[in-house]
């Protein structure tokens, strides 16, 4: 009887933790599907962007709120860096400047305790700007459509 109750308790704990663990694993796997680029600042920004955006897609805005200032710091470092050969397009500087502006808007929204909907929308803009030309300017793996 005690073994039976213990087995039920263990199963219950595993069942309760499994969805959270599966979600964390799926987000973790998304960070690496692009591969590394030749531009370390791009990769650093991408790591933080993925950690903020992927949970936000599922309605979890806590990581975006917690990492907003880090996101801005990575965007600023990327914009200030020198691109490796082959990683620049004619509009890269303008796109990076826009990325920094929007990252500042994310920080301001978080500091002003903006709504989750407003934050999700703004992080989506930042994510889409990143993927719509900046990432592909120096990406090793390209973009996977199911990633969105």
| C-alpha to C-alpha distance for 27 and 49, rounded to whole angstroms | 12
- Domain extent, residue 95, equals 33-147
In this structure, is residue 18 part of a structural domain?
no
In this structure, is residue 38 part of a structural domain?
yes
In total, how many domains does the chain have?
1
In this structure, is residue 4 part of a structural domain?
no
Residue 71 φ then ψ, to 5°: -60, -45
In this structure, is residue 116 part of a structural domain?
yes
State the CATH number of the domain containing residue 65: 1.20.120
| Residue pLDDT, tens place only, 103-113 | 999 999 999 99
In this structure, is residue 17 part of a structural domain?
no
Q: According to the model, what pLDDT value does residue 35 have?
A: 61
In this structure, is residue 26 part of a structural domain?
no
Q: According to the model, what pLDDT value does residue 123 have?
A: 96
In this structure, is residue 75 part of a structural domain?
yes
In this structure, is residue 2 part of a structural domain?
no
| Residue pLDDT, tens place only, 78-92 | 999 988 887 877 788
């Amino acid at each position: 009887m005690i073994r039976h109750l213990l087995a039920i308790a263990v199963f219950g704990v595993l069942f309760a933790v499994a969805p959270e663990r599966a979600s964390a694993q799926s987000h973790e796997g998304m960070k690496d599907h692009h591969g590394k680029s030749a531009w370390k600042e791009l990769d650093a920004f991408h790591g933080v962007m993925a950690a903020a955006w992927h949970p936000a897609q599922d309605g979890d805005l806590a990581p975006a709120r917690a990492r907003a200032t880090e996101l801005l710091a990575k965007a600023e470092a990327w914009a200030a860096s020198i691109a490796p050969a082959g990683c620049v397009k004619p509009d890269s500087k303008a796109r990076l400047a826009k990325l920094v502006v929007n990252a500042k808007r994310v920080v301001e929204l978080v500091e002003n305790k903006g709504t989750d909907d407003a934050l999700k929308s703004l992080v989506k803009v930042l994510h889409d700007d990143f993927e719509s030309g900046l990432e592909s300017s120096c990406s090793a793996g390209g973009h996977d459509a199911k990633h969105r």
